[in-house]
Structure 1
Amino acid sequence: MTVSVNYPEEFKGFAITDPKDWASPKLTSIQPKIFGPNDVDIEIEACGICASELFTLKNEWSHDELACLSSTYGPKCQIVGHEVVGKVVKIGSECKTDVKLGQRVGLGAQASCCAKEDCSRCNSGNEQYCPQSVGTYASRYPDGYVSQGGYASHVRAHEQLVFPIPDGIESHLVAPLQCGGLTVYSPIKRGIQDILDAGKEQPKVGIIGLGGLGHMAVMISKALGAEVTTFSRSNAKKDDAFKMGTDKFIATGEDKDWESKNWDQFHLILNCASGTSAVDLDKLLKTLKVNRSFINVGLPHVDEKFEISPFTFFKNGSTIGSSCLGSRAEAIELFELAAKHNIKPWVETIKIGEEGVHEGLTRLDQGDVKYRFTLVGFNEYFGTGK
């Protein structure tokens, strides 16, 4: 099946109009947001499926109405997808980055920031924390348009968040790096950079959860030179973890002495699990070295919470933090690292289409994935890529 797209007047993609229909997005024509002078249009060829899309489609990250349903401008439907790889087909008149027409690029979970000279965050490599940040989907622009994502023929984004991709990495493999990979790369790099710079010891990193985020965190930590320990509830994924490069594996539900065996071990612990029920912070923080951090990147249902005793912090001065996405500079670093070290996320490809999107979302919801899905075949389906 091939559909026609009247670009640039319309984009076409797979959208829902009600969270009850989260598993069955339908092919929909949408009006793009107004093209700005710093915008770039990407003709999509591949897009990863991320767990955050399930939370968004189900409206489980908010108690408010899904943003698109109260949109004042633009379509009253929601297309998700924020691990985009494609070709640049339009560049705004004031674009200053090195993005070129016809270039293969990526787009992650952020589609816009202010990029102003007086923005302390945009000008310090922290544009992901810009107060005017707009997500790639389900996020409002200043004019009220609700952003639409990458399960589509095209996507429109600010040049600052459009990343050139080096040759040598296949599109279906680099797609998950746009969001999932960048989300773990940023805190890992920031969390162990001082150890790497000092050069006196090998950084020791603990990764909680060997899923869509965690399996990439293992690979990236190893590529950066760390000794990696994977935490999981059971030994079910132990063999996979070692194939990915982990040095050690801890099954917290089966080894009752794991806490005492790993006291004072880690420079960084990164939580990639999307639930909090199995994360015992009181035990985990004790395995950190003095003044080191537990960083959370896995976001659960809006009603889930962490529990911890304040007394836990006293013994080693440990800290708890979080990390949001990553910067443009970090994205480019990550892709170069992936090319250099042959980092290949474990990916199963699915052809884009209503059936393919349904399959990917429902299987991800059931945990039937090892460890990422990438939607492919966009050019064939939408009649693009010419």
Structure 2
Amino acid sequence: MSTTQTQRKFEGWAAMDENSVKGQMKWTEYEPKEFADDDVELEVQYCGICGSDLHTMSNGWGSAKDMYPQVVGHEIVGKVVRVGKDVKHLKEGDVAGVGAQCDSCLECDSCKKGEENYCSKGIVGTYCAKFSRTSSGSKSYGGYANFWRGPAHFTLPIPSNIDPAEAAPMMCGGVTVFAPLKQYGAGTTAKDVGVVGIGGLGHFAVLFATAMGANVTAISHSHKKDEDAKKLGAKKVIVTGDDVKAAFKGHERSLDLIIVSSNAPNMPFDAYLSLLRPHGHLVIVGVAEEGSLPNVHPFNLIMSNVHISGSLIGSVKDIAECLKFAGDHNIKAWVKRYPMKDANEAVVSMKAGDARYRYVLVNEEHGGKMNA
């Protein structure tokens, strides 16, 4: 171990309690997991701000109660500065990233099939979790920080044809919609795709579905994002307002696939199902803090043989495919960059709904760039 590795100090913006989401994070030193032979260490250059960060900081999902202080951030890109002896796909100096998952058992059927995000023993989140396979009991810490340490299996090289600042939000937000779009045949068997909610996830869904060759319909509560949706690639925009039934009249059975990216409570799922053709799929990727699914009348499923499902982030393979697809198709995330020192300001703005459509924290001390 080099002197630099021995003396490296891990510091980050820590949520100390539920009020941290109001811009009250504190820059704090913390102890990462013990370095293992299959680990890597990154100098954090960029970290996207995800809606999950805010739900965790505020304990809105009930996951953080016993985990404070907690450094969030799971859309991490940086330079590899340390590599365990068992790591073969990365070397010091590479630009690499990690998403919302940083470990799993790697032994169950799901893991062996390359679906680590559905690990039978549960996934280890990149923050607000505890390692069990190695460094048992150590907390995982995220990327609002100067360094990140974790299992290399979940750390991928960033393609050279993607701006690393734009790659960061693809590590979670991008792949969260890319995976179900790919799974359910966007642009092939699903020619017509609807996207509910034009936000951080939704903007990615429109970008990716359009690039896959689908005709995209953006579905939004108001007209505020009509022009943005069209610039992102949507062919049509449906604004529901306060009368969903009237808004959807004439659009029944016009879509093959709907991605629900909004995390608004009490969404009209019965009405969304009316938009699907027979055998169509409605896939939920956004989760409200209330976490409940409103009642759906069975006849609305039976009469058209339509399906409601969910999709969780993406596997390691999904992330690699997402990044390659973005590079090959020149997909540009809509990103606003904040200096790492202004993380509290960025979080407050994100919570207020100001993002159009992803925020990325930039660590200039480690080579992150404020301009593209």
TM-score over 0.5 for the pair: yes
Change (3 A) 1:93 1:359: same
Instruction: Determine if contact 2:196/2:259 at 8 Å carries over to the other structure.
Output: yes
Q: Deviations over 1:299-354 (max 9, x none)?
A: 1113544332222111111111111111111111111111121111111110011x
SS of residue paired to 2:270: helix
Deviation of 1:21 after TM superposition, in Å, equals 2.9
Say if 2:13 and 2:71, in contact at 8 Å, map to a contact too. Answer: yes
Shift in Å, 1:380: 5.2
Where do 5+ consecutive residues of structure 1 fail to align?
70-76
Match of 1:218 in 2: 206
- Counterpart of 1:332 in structure 2 is 320
Match of 2:44 in 1: 44
CA contact (8 A) 2:46 2:78 kept: yes
Q: Which residue of 2 aligns with 1:287?
A: 275
Say if 1:67 and 1:139, in contact at 8 Å, map to a contact too: no
- Structure 2 CA distance for partners of 1:65 and 1:367, relative to 1, 3 Å: closer
Alpha-carbon deviations, 1:137-192, whole Å to 9, x = none? 00111222221100011111222211111112112211111110011100110011
Write the deviation string for residues 110-131 of structure 1: whole angstroms up to 9, x where unpaired: 0112223xx2111212111112
Q: Is the 8 A contact 1:350 1:360 kept in 2?
A: yes
1:79 counterpart = 2:71: yes
1:296–1:323: 8 Å Cα contact kept in structure 2? yes
Length-normalised TM-score, structure 2:
0.91
How do 1:352-367 and structure 2 match up within 5 A? 352-353=340-341, 356-367=342-353
Write the distance in 2 (CA, Å) between the matches of 1:158 and 1:45.
Answer: 18
Partner of 1:306: 294
Partners of 1:15 and 1:80 within 8 A in 2: yes
Separation of aligned partners in 1, 2:218 and 2:244: 13
Amino acid paired to 1:162? T
**Aligned-residue CA RMSD (Å):** 2.0
**Unaligned regions of 5+ residues in structure 2, if any?**
none
Asked if the contact 1:115/1:160 (under 8 Å) is kept, the reply is: no
Tell me which of 154, 157, 171 is aligned to 1:161: 154
Say if 2:245 and 2:271, in contact at 8 Å, map to a contact too.
no
1:360 aligned counterpart, secondary structure? helix
Deviations 1:244-265 (A, max 9, x none): 1111111011775343322222
Question: After superposition, what is the alpha-carbon deviation per residue over 1:165-223, rounded to whole angstroms, capped at 9, x for unaligned?
Answer: 11121122111111100111001100116x72xxxx66211100000100011001111
| In structure 1, distance between residues paired with 2:203 and 2:175 | 13
C-alpha contact 1:203 1:226 (8 A) present in aligned 2? yes
Provide Cα deviations, 1:55-113, integer angstroms capped at 9, x if missing partner. 00000001x652324xxxxxxx21000110101111222224x2222111111100112
Closer, same or farther: CA 248–113 of 1 in aligned 2, 3 Å = same
Equivalence for 2:359: 373
Q: What's 1:125 paired with?
A: 114
Query: Counterparts of 1:284 and 1:303 in 2: how far apart (Å)?
Result: 18
2:306 pairs with one of 307, 315, 318? 318
Give the count of matched residue pairs.
359
TM-score, reference length from structure 1: 0.88
| Aligned counterpart for 2:261 among listed residues 257, 261, 272 | 272
